[in-house]
Chain A
């Protein structure tokens, strides 16, 4: 049987509380309890990147991280990226490069791209390919994703 516990955290800057069980993952918390849609469970093994969110600004797989561990942390998701109507440059670049088809993996790619550009503001194509290895796109918009990352890099410099 699972144990319940109250945790406190910030979600995209807002202070929150939630009762979670020991079995709940971060993705359970975000989608079932907090009604967010952007992070999605797909492979359930931390291999596809569809459930990527930031915990204390570090990208994690929401399907493998227990909700319990988010106690006292700051959680950021794709929903927190745009400022009102103003999209983040990475979001803009993904639209301009047409870097998605079905869109199910897109949140994860965008969040990882932001991290990539923080660490490597002007990445080479090899760096892009290696950094985003943990994100899978079955529609395979990979060439356009590379273009989007390069475009975002230009926008942000």
Chain B
């Protein structure tokens, strides 16, 4: 177009568009928002993990001066006869409906104009329960006669779950299977068979901005201001819940104080909307830090993995059985079960693969998506398993991987060919940083050193859609209308760079309109590393559409092609004054082929592959089990880094988060009760925990199907980090840990058990 040419936008580390707002305390979050006439809601929660509710007495609470109303599910049912919600299953009542399924489940809400009064009134509510036996462990629940739900209720929005409808007598919400080749035969003729069982713990996202929703429902329309990663989904689900058309539900999302997968699909929105519908006033609920642990968590899992290996180190078959502890409500657990299931044999070229992945209901807080969608849990198992096999066979762990690594053009377990995935290159880069080919001194005496590496990959949720609008105003300035949520990953900035690149406009001058479903078009959600690839492509298409319309306008005005007239001048010429718009639209849905339900086979399982490799060097005190990570390396294939600084911060930040999940973070339960729901007892990484020598880099890569070669970056470094640390510890102490988190105590116990075995 004819505006003054500017520098290239792609590949530049321009600061975030909202940087100034964030350093001056002016950035907009729902956290601060208040509306006239607004009531605060405080949630009364179950103290029982599994029980029938015999009686709820709210009279004393309702009588407290300043309390507007105390609400139970019976009140909600007067306006919403079936107040159940959820993305995969409609299994979650907005407030407990006759039964509680985990300790911490919402049972009643106190509404008051004064938050403190609402909080005080909570202590006056009395509930009588009839306690039921609980199931907390996924392995126990998979075969238990104690049932969390009587019947499975899949949501209509997920057509592939319909066969589960009405299934009774089980805690298994979904059984995913993949079959490739003849696993039985391969095991029967194997030189070696290795089998191990690994477990990961329950952890939580801990966004610094706790979950918050403000709903204003009146006269047949609803407006929600919510800290959500998926405004379009919230609108669809709230419209379904209310039985209204989508155009009567408006969902607005400003900046998010962190999401990490927690604020996906539908969370507080269902309850808060129901409350506002009931009392006809705006209602806001902000959770406390402790309450966040009862909203959503990451699945603990048990993974039994078995491999058939030839004497020269080729894996011929692998059998994976994964049980996901989904807690009391399915949330997006069934999708985690499928998506992490299909890559759970790891990034290896194996002819015979069998995978069974089970979503299991238990009486724990619900589990959903968390940065990696299950991939980090499965990689913990398959990558520790790789090192354990290498050790048994006397092979170098990197060499053993290289003999089996999945290369571009070869079929992954689903049958989908790997493409544009730098798995081996990532491993090579990690090895260089660890000087892997050099002799290594493990040290002697009390302090022992070790090093380890791991690789991993993930498929991306598919098929999903993004729609974008580019609007050039009468003066030629540009705005981008997208429903991607900027929760810190920098999507506003990168999307502006993509639009700016096409239209030759300085990215920092582009206004990005934040999600508002009355204004911004559909997007499936800001999740699973999909935004750069999906929304980025939609934005590129929208900008190209606008560019084509500018050329059309040029022709309509009888101007020679490539005339120097600016958009503003052309519009002025057309309308006779500063008026009009040029609007470009774009929408994108990648190719996808539904997997065969019996075998999981498909030619197109994922739009692209997320790839990460990690390496670690540790020092362990053999007397105490204390360990220090001396060096930590993450290498990811992110395609072309569209904004190198933002990519690096993403890789590094995700890595530190995963380091917390590896070493300190663990939701501890006793008899179904969470015992450490606070930052005092549940430790997330601080500046002191970050390894001093911490390296994050991208491979020199390019995904030709992504916008300007880019693809997702938000999860890649979460996948291989835990097993890299685990393998380094094993290298130092000579024995493998099977469970996360790795703590001085678990390391000490492992050292002791090895010593005891040696003595015996």
B645 is an interface residue with CB less than 8 A from chain A: yes
Name the one of B19, B20, B684 contacting A138, with C-beta atoms under 8 angstroms.
B684
Instruction: Kindly report which residue of chain B lies nearest to residue A132, judged by CB atoms.
Output: B687
A110 to B25 Cα, complex, angstroms: 10
The yes or no answer to A26 lying at the interface (CB within 8 A) is no
B24→A79 contact, CB < 8 A: yes
In whole angstroms, how far apart are the Cα atoms of A96 and B13 in the complex?
10
B684 touches A98 (CB 8 A): no
Residue of B nearest to A48 (CB): B679
- Residues of chain A lying within 8 A (CB to CB) of residue B257: 40, 42, 102-104
Known A-B contacts A91-B23, A107-B25, A142-B656; the reply to A42 vs B209 at CB < 8 A is yes
Q: Does A105 sit at the interface, judged by CB under 8 A? A: yes
Asked whether any CB of chain A lies closer than 8 Å to the CB of B32, the reply is: yes
- How many angstroms between the C-alpha atoms of A21 and B92 in the bound complex? 38
Cβ of A11 within 8 Å of any chain B Cβ, yes or no, is no
Residues of A within 8 A of B473 (CB): none
Whether, in the assembled complex, B188 has its beta carbon less than 8 Å from a beta carbon of chain A, the answer is: no
CB-CB under 8 A from B650, the residues of chain A are: 101
Q: Which of B15, B29, B490 contacts A101 (CB 8 A)?
A: B490
B646 nearest CB neighbor, chain A only:
A98
Give bound CA distance, A96 to B679, whole Å: 30
Residue of B nearest to A42 (CB): B208
Question: Residue of A at shortest CB range from B288?
Answer: A44
Binary contact readout B20-34 vs A (1 if CB under 8 angstroms, 0 otherwise): 111111111101101
Say whether A136 contacts B686, CB under 8 Å.
yes
A37 touches B25 (CB 8 A): yes
Residue from B34, B257, B652 with most neighbouring chain A CB atoms (10 Å): B257
User: Total A-B residue pairs with C-beta atoms closer than 8 Å?
Assistant: 161
B649 touches A98 (CB 8 A): yes
* A36 pairs with B289, CB closer than 8 A: no
B316: shortest Cβ distance to chain A, in Å? 40
User: A82-110 vs B: 1/0 string, CB under 8 Å?
Assistant: 10000100010011101011111111001
Residue of B nearest to A23 (CB): B116
B694: chain A residues at CB < 8 Å are 143
Cβ-defined partner of A146 (8 Å) among B15, B28, B260, B687: B687
Contact A103 B27, beta carbon cutoff 8 Å: yes
Contact of A39 with B680 in the complex, beta carbons under 8 Å: no
Report the separation of the CA atoms of residues A59 and B650 in the bound assembly, to the nearest whole angstrom: 30
Interface centre among A38, A44, A102, A143 (most CB of B within 10 A): A102
Asked if B197 lies at the interface with its beta carbon under 8 angstroms from chain A, I say: no
The reply to whether the CB of B685 lies closer than 8 angstroms to some CB of chain A is yes
| Minimum CB distance partner of B655 in chain A | A140
Q: Could you say which of A38, A40, A42, A98 contacts B24, with CB atoms under 8 Å apart?
A: A38
Q: Is A29 an interface residue (CB 8 A)?
A: no
Question: Is A151 on the interface with B (CB-CB < 8 A)?
Answer: no
Asked if B209 contacts A104 (CB within 8 A), the reply is yes
- In the docked arrangement, what's the CA distance between A143 and B684, Å? 16
CB distance B652 to A140 under 8 Å?
Answer: yes
B756 to A: closest C-beta gap in Å: 38
* Complex CA–CA separation, A79 to B489 (angstroms): 24
Give chain B residues whose Cβ lies under 8 Å from the Cβ of A39.
25
Smallest Cβ distance from B93 to chain A, in angstroms?
Answer: 27
A31 interfacial contact with B, CB 8 Å: yes
Q: Which residues of A contact B256 (CB under 8 A)?
A: 102
B686 / chain A contacts, CB cutoff of 8 Å: 133, 135-136, 142
Q: CA A45 – CA B687 in complex, angstroms?
A: 19
Contacts A98-B15, A140-B652 given; does A104 touch B208 at CB 8 Å = yes
Contact A139 B289 (CB under 8 A): no
Contact with B along A23-61 (1 / 0, CB 8 A): 110000001100011111011110110100000000000
Complex CA–CA separation, A79 to B692 (angstroms):
33
B298: interface (CB < 8 Å): no
Query: In the complex, are the beta carbons of B255 and A136 less than 8 A apart?
Result: no
The answer to the question of A129 belonging to the interface, with a C-beta cut-off of 8 Å to chain B, is yes
Q: A45-B680, A104-B257 are in contact. Are A133 and B688 (CB under 8 A)?
A: yes
CB closest residue in chain A, given B657: A140
Query: Which A residues touch B684, using CB under 8 A?
Result: 136, 138
CB distance A98 to B209 under 8 Å?
no
Whose C-beta in chain B lies nearest to the C-beta of A37? Answer: B32
Report chain B residues within 8 Å CB of A135.
686-687
Q: Does B299 contact A (CB under 8 A)?
A: no
Q: Judging by beta carbons under 8 Å apart, are A143 and B690 in contact?
A: yes
- CA of A115 to CA of B186, assembled, Å: 65
A145 in the interface, Cβ–Cβ < 8 Å? yes
B462-521: which have CB < 8 Å to A?
487-490
Return A50 CB to nearest CB of chain B, in Å: 6
- Taking residues whose C-beta sits less than 8 angstroms from the other chain, chain A's interface range is 35 or more
Nearest CB in chain A to that of B290: its residue: A44
| A141 on the B face (CB < 8 A) | yes
Residue on B nearest A80 in the bound complex, by CB: B25
- The residues of B that contact A140 with a CB separation of less than 8 Å are 652-657, 685, 690
A119 to B591, CA, bound (A): 58
Inter-subunit contact A79/B25 (CB<8 Å): yes
Chain B hits for A91, CB < 8 A:
23-24
State whether A138 touches B657 (Cβ < 8 A): yes
Once bound together, how far apart are the Cα atoms of A129 and B687, in whole Å? 5
Contact string, B174-217, partner A, CB cutoff 8 A, digits 1/0? 00000000000000000000000000000001111110000000
Query: Which of A47, A102, A138 interacts with B680 by CB under 8 Å?
Result: A47
Chain A residues with Cβ under 8 A from B351's Cβ?
Answer: none
Let me know if A71 is at the binding interface, CB within 8 A. no
Q: Are the CB atoms of A82 and B209 closer together than 8 Å? A: no
Cβ contacts B153-171/A at 8 Å (1 or 0 each): 0000000000000000000
In the complex, A21→B120 CA distance in Å? 14
The answer on a CB contact under 8 Å between A141 and B687 is no
B35 CB to nearest chain A CB (Å): 13
User: Which of B16, B19, B684, B687 has the largest count of A CB atoms less than 10 A from its CB?
Assistant: B687
Known A129-B687, A133-B687, A140-B656; contact A42-B289, beta-carbon cutoff 8 A: yes
- Decide if A130 is an interface residue (CB 8 Å cutoff): yes
B653 A136 Cβ-Cβ under 8 A: no
A45-B258 Cα distance, complex, nearest whole Å:
19
| Complex-state Cα separation, A82 to B25, whole angstroms | 11
Q: Decide if A66 is an interface residue (CB 8 Å cutoff).
A: no
Structural contact, B656 and A102, CB atoms closer than 8 A: no
Q: Is A2 an interface residue (CB 8 A)?
A: yes
Q: How far is the CA of A110 from the CA of B285 in the complex (A)?
A: 28
Q: Which residue of A lies closest to B29 (CB)?
A: A104
Q: What is the CB-to-nearest-CB distance from B527 to chain A, in angstroms, rounded to a whole number?
A: 15
Complex CA gap A79/B24 in Å reads 6
Enumerate chain B residues within 8 angstroms of A38, measured Cβ to Cβ: 24-26
Contact (Cβ within 8 A) B25 A48: no
Are A45 and B488 within 8 A (Cβ)? Answer: no
Q: Is B18 an interface residue (CB 8 A)?
A: yes
B205 contacts which chain A residues (CB < 8 A)? Answer: 138
- Interchain CA distance A42-B32 in the complex, whole Å: 12
Whether B25 pairs with A102 at a CB distance below 8 angstroms is no
> Chain B contacts of A110 at CB under 8 A?
23
**Complex alpha-carbon distance, A78 and B15, angstroms:** 20
Can you list 9 A-B pairs, Cβ within 8 angstroms, ordered by A?
Answer: A38-B25, A45-B678, A101-B489, A102-B487, A103-B21, A107-B25, A138-B684, A139-B488, A144-B652
Q: Which residues on B are within 8 Å of A, measured CB to CB?
A: 13, 15-16, 18-29, 31-32, 34, 116, 205-210, 255-260, 288-289, 487-490, 645-646, 649-650, 652-657, 678-680, 684-688, 690, 692, 694
Given contacts A101-B488, A102-B255, A137-B208, 8 further A-B contacts (CB under 8 A): A40-B29, A42-B209, A43-B679, A47-B679, A79-B25, A102-B208, A139-B653, A142-B656
